[in-house]
Structure 1
Amino acid sequence: MEFVRELADELRELLNPNAPEDARLVQKGLMLYRQGMVSQLQVAESGIQATVQDVAAVKVLLDPLFLGLSECSCPADELCRHQLAVFFAAYAQVGSVGDWVTEWREPVREKKSVVAWGLQKAKDLVKANGLLKPDYGRWVDSFEKSFDALLAAKKYTNPFVVPELFGIYRRRLQASAPLEAEWRLLYELVATVVAFRKLAVLSEQMGHSEDAVHRSYGHLFESLVDEAEDLLEKIGMQTLPFDFDEFIVGLKDEVFALLTVVPGLVHHRIELYRELWSGLFRKTAWREAELERVLARLRTVTDEENPLPLVLAGIHLNVLLGEDEKALKSLDWIEDEVAVPYMVYWIEYLSGLKVWKRAGRYIDLFLHKLKGYLDSEAFVGGFQGRAGVVRTVLRVISPYVSENGRMDVYERAMQCSLPYSYAEYEYFLFERRMYERWGELQALVGMEYQDLPRDRVKVIEKEQPEVLLGMLHQSAQREIDQKNRASYRMAVRHLKKLRTLYKKLKRVDDWEYFLEGLLERTKRLRAFHEECARGKLIS
């Protein structure tokens, strides 16, 4: 039963022994299995079925091919203890459950032993190096040797152990930092950039999958970018000594290496690159030279390489140099689903500088690409994820809109991102008393009259009742088309409301003409006519 062994491998990858919730889940499932609570077990490649006696008996169906399609009659939405118990019962037919659990828990034991080793190793390194005086080459050499000694000493490092060892590595570097405040900040910044590069290379050398990196130590890359941003802010608040120039030159080379160091981690690499070129490397000559360097490297990119980091770096440098025509041309060339997330940064950057004319050009292209991004099949996150993106978009363009009185741009953003912007657009139109367009929006998204907010309906019924006529007509017809008693009763409720509004608008003739036509079209629907009579629409 090879499919059971494959399921065992999948669960071993899915469940993190270092995560308390996963550890509890395995423990509870193991307890149910060992207590003999699994019965009526049927193992087949199409599905593993069983009953588990817990507080109440539950039915479990495990799908060995697509674990996410597994089912349990308990209230849990995801993988539960009952499914784990059934897995253990099935696995017992092909192997040792105890061995599976021992192998699964191995990272925890490895973590403890490796951490103990790492702490001792760090003490030795601190004794050997002591405090490091300002010397860029010596700094980088020390950072790299310490990293290799603590994290790359073995041929393979379990991904779940990396965060612990990395924490030891970072604490070891802090122990050797210069005492002078200005040098200490620069030391920490260089250490952060080198650590990012070394960690990225380690993930590649160890063959850690993208999913394994994300689950076990992906947060470290985010933390390093955040640390760099904080350090740049602190460095920017002080006057830099002339002695810093040598270090800046070395750091520029280190940052350029981020663009090609590994194939993956594109977003984090570009984020760190942008922060440093925006916050530290501010001389125009530096930026022009870097742009030439990026373009030259782009011309040598092979088919196996990913050119996107270099392209994005070139765009960023053009933005910093005010070469918007070149930046926008490159952005227009990039696919919508790739370009849109990166454009958020540049719009916020230009808005922060209050160069509104420039920001407006990027916003125009941004909105042009937004719909393609939201409709992309590559987008992960469903409706709620896309609605969250829309909220971010509106937040990002708000400074430009408010400073320039461009509510048309704000509305355009909501229009091109429908239906994910429905909540924001509905509020926008109602607050501005644009009731007719508000009604058109409800019809566009297929909103039923009875589902509209009652407070909104009362206001519109009082101020512009004709807006509701079309919606009521559509809702009544949809109910009639369902051809059952309950829907007929709902249709009559809508029709009575229509009659009230027509009378209020002094259009009784229009109402009578409509009703006469409706009754003629539905003369075969006896039950509907009976409900009309019961509702006193007809005698």
Structure 2
Amino acid sequence: MGVSALESTHASEQMEHFEEQVRELLIPTDAEDAKLVQKGLMLYRQGVVKQLQIFNDKITSMVQDVTRVYVKLDLVFASMSSCTCPTEGFCRHQMATFFAAFSKFGSVGDWVTAWREPAREQKEVADWGMQTAKDLIKANGILKPDYSRWVHSFEVSFDTLLASKKFTSPYVIPELYGIYERRIHASAPVEQEWRLLYEMVAMVVSFRKLAMLSEQLGHDEDMVKRAYLHLFHNLMDDAEDLAVKIGVQSLPFAFDEFIERLKNDAFDLLRCCSGLEYERIYLYRLLWVQFFKKKDWREEELTKIQAGLKALQDWENPLPLMVAGVHLNILVGNDEAAVRLMGQFTDEEITPYMLFWIEYLTTLKAWRRVAVLIELFLQKVKGYLTALGGYHSCVTFARNALKALTTFCAENDRVDLYERGLLVMLPYSFGEYEYLLFERKQYERWGELQAFVGLDFYDLPKDRLKVIEKEQPEVLLGMLHQTAQREIDQKNRSSYKMAVRHLKKLRTLYKKLKRVDDWEYFLETLMERTKRLRAFHEECRRSKLVDV
């Protein structure tokens, strides 16, 4: 398009939107970002940006650098912009193209000057004795470990990068968080044992800050899921891996104070926001299993939880504190209190959290305690699956649940309990149940299961059918009868042809079973019942199923 299109009101609004995103992505106190802006500015001033065009929310250009490259800027989501050069992320060619486009609306020089002097960062620098958030974080790798300084520096860096911006698009958060996370890792203490603890504290603080930011920006559950839920799940996975690494080394005595402080901060995960319940509770439970193992700590936490529940306002969600209460009661061995608490939840609320405790007690080989939880779980899981909805989600949950039950059932010779789980979670446990019945050669029940889920004969795996036809062919009779009848009920020529194919297979099986009389009686009854279906009768005669 021509210049006039670039100068249109719509294009102006788009450029303003894009320009805000560029400010979000590039941090003036970061040396690499500063170099990037400088290189882009040089290319723009050299006049090597050619063929600049805007269309369909995109800006495209050709940049004649050392080699020719092609740039596409996404005006809606800056992070989706691309360049044919090998550089990852926002590159100097994209920066030069941005400057070339921005020059149609304002002064590039003024933009660069304003970008280099962010007021919010200046204020935070002043607050911290003229030290930038980045320098402050770096100091952690040099100075003696200090929990308060760690937490404060994480919070300052987070607020500087993610919480002090006007632009609130959820799709920018992963990119900004990536910059924040790289700074945290780059500034960790040198000593291995302190580095691991530092990263664990950083994860808890970062998780809490990100959850609070999500609520402050008004991002609903669906928006978070589409844009950056993976950040929370990555933190959960990383915390689990880190817990294993820390657990295998002997912890210095100096760690005690840090772990106790972390324990107190972990409580805030339960109350920091109203959303992300499952993720917040998961991280909280992990910490209490892996780190906070002293019995008096756990008993104190229970008292704290009870006080927290009493102090809740009417509008606050009690679920995270209640689940935490169940968890701590299980950790201190008070299963009766835990079960009583679980009784206060609906099936939909408590069931997804139960697998964690089943797996935890399984690792302890506390079989009696596991058995109680499994019984309770099997009473609740059907209600949960009904409320969950979505076939794929239900199948995934059923598969995870059966995995959690497997060790207990195998160690305690409780195949009956496993089968109960399979039954109660049908149809979502169909694959596992079908396999179990076939492997145990319970072919009749296997056939009943196929009928229950409504599979037609031609949907069944051929290798399974061959085995059953050889070992217990009568199992297939019912399925063939049902499938043939369903085809006849369709009342069209192609369905009649399929029905006849199944009936001929039935005839073969009846002969194999030496039940020819039963077959003839069935066929005679069927032809009488369908005498008005002329097309069906024609197909029967054409295929010589009946005499012409």
TM-score norm. by structure 2 comes to 0.73
2:275 aligned counterpart, secondary structure: coil
Cα distance, 1:317 vs. partner? 0.8
Aligned 8 A contact 1:118 1:150 in 2: no
Q: Distance in 2 between matches of 1:487 and 1:155?
A: 63
CA change 1:147–1:395 in 2 (3 A) is same
Which residue in 2 is equivalent to 1:305? 316
Q: Distance in 2 between matches of 1:129 and 1:517?
A: 87
Cα distance, 1:157 vs. partner? 5.1
Q: State yes or no: 1:233 paired with 2:241.
A: no
Aligned 8 A contact 1:132 1:139 in 2: no
Q: Please, which moves more after superposition, 99-108 or 503-512?
A: 99-108
Which residue in 2 is equivalent to 1:531? 539
Counterpart pick for 1:327 among 338, 346, 358: 338
Opposite residue 329 of structure 1, the aligned amino acid is R
Counterpart pick for 1:111 among 10, 13, 24: 24
Which residue in 2 is equivalent to 1:468? 476
Cα distance, 1:131 vs. partner? 2.4
Which residue in 1 is equivalent to 2:398? 390
Cα distance, 1:211 vs. partner? 4.0
Which residue in 2 is equivalent to 1:66? none
Q: State yes or no: 1:488 paired with 2:496.
A: yes
The total of aligned residue pairs comes to 444
Counterpart pick for 1:138 among 140, 144, 149: 149
Q: Distance in 2 between matches of 1:228 and 1:214?
A: 20
1:411 aligned counterpart, secondary structure: helix
Which residue in 1 is equivalent to 2:56? none
Aligned 8 A contact 2:358 2:373 in 1: yes
Which residue in 2 is equivalent to 1:450? 458
Deviations 1:250-279 (A, max 9, x none): 221111111111111212211111111000
Q: Distance in 1 between matches of 2:264 and 2:215?
A: 21
Aligned 8 A contact 2:136 2:153 in 1: no
Aligned 8 A contact 2:141 2:189 in 1: no
Which residue in 2 is equivalent to 1:192? 203
Cα distance, 1:312 vs. partner? 1.0
1:134 aligned counterpart, secondary structure: coil
Gaps in structure 2 of 5+ consecutive residues? 35-132
CA change 1:351–1:390 in 2 (3 A) is same
Counterpart pick for 2:433 among 425, 428, 435: 425
Deviations 1:53-86 (A, max 9, x none): xxxxxxxxxxxxxxxxxxxxxxxxxxxxxxxxxx
Counterpart pick for 2:517 among 499, 502, 509: 509
Q: Distance in 2 between matches of 1:518 and 1:165?
A: 70
Opposite residue 498 of structure 2, the aligned amino acid is M
Q: Distance in 1 between matches of 2:169 and 2:512?
A: 74
Deviations 1:474-527 (A, max 9, x none): 222223333333333333332222222222222222222222222332333333
Q: State yes or no: 1:272 paired with 2:283.
A: yes
Q: Distance in 2 between matches of 1:118 and 1:207?
A: 32
CA change 1:108–1:470 in 2 (3 A) is same
Q: Distance in 1 between matches of 2:497 and 2:175?
A: 65
Cα distance, 1:435 vs. partner? 0.9
Q: Distance in 1 between matches of 2:140 and 2:508?
A: 87
Opposite residue 483 of structure 1, the aligned amino acid is K
Opposite residue 402 of structure 2, the aligned amino acid is L
Counterpart pick for 1:152 among 163, 166, 170: 163
CA change 1:216–1:445 in 2 (3 A) is closer
Opposite residue 352 of structure 1, the aligned amino acid is T
Q: Distance in 2 between matches of 1:460 and 1:319?
A: 47
Aligned 8 A contact 1:107 1:160 in 2: no
Opposite residue 513 of structure 2, the aligned amino acid is L
Q: Please, which moves more after superposition, 155-164 or 228-237?
A: 155-164
2:270 aligned counterpart, secondary structure: coil
Q: Distance in 1 between matches of 2:310 and 2:13?
A: 51
Which residue in 1 is equivalent to 2:417? 409
Which residue in 1 is equivalent to 2:274? 263
Counterpart pick for 1:438 among 437, 443, 446: 446
Opposite residue 166 of structure 1, the aligned amino acid is Y
Opposite residue 385 of structure 1, the aligned amino acid is S
TM-score norm. by structure 1 comes to 0.75
Q: State yes or no: 1:372 paired with 2:383.
A: yes
Q: Distance in 1 between matches of 2:421 and 2:359?
A: 16
Q: Distance in 2 between matches of 1:136 and 1:302?
A: 31
Q: Distance in 2 between matches of 1:500 and 1:238?
A: 69
CA change 1:173–1:431 in 2 (3 A) is closer
Q: Distance in 2 between matches of 1:283 and 1:516?
A: 78
Q: Please, which moves more after superposition, 353-362 or 204-213?
A: 204-213
Cα distance, 1:245 vs. partner? 2.5
The alignment yields a C-alpha RMSD, in angstroms, of 2.9
Aligned 8 A contact 1:151 1:157 in 2: no
Aligned 8 A contact 1:318 1:326 in 2: yes
CA change 1:219–1:464 in 2 (3 A) is closer
Which residue in 2 is equivalent to 1:5? none
Percentage of matched positions with identical amino acids: 61
Q: Distance in 2 between matches of 1:451 and 1:127?
A: 62
Deviations 1:82-103 (A, max 9, x none): xxxxxxxxxx9xx955346435
* Pairs within 5 Å for 1:161-310: 161-174=172-185, 176-310=187-321
Q: Distance in 2 between matches of 1:387 and 1:472?
A: 27
Aligned 8 A contact 2:171 2:228 in 1: yes
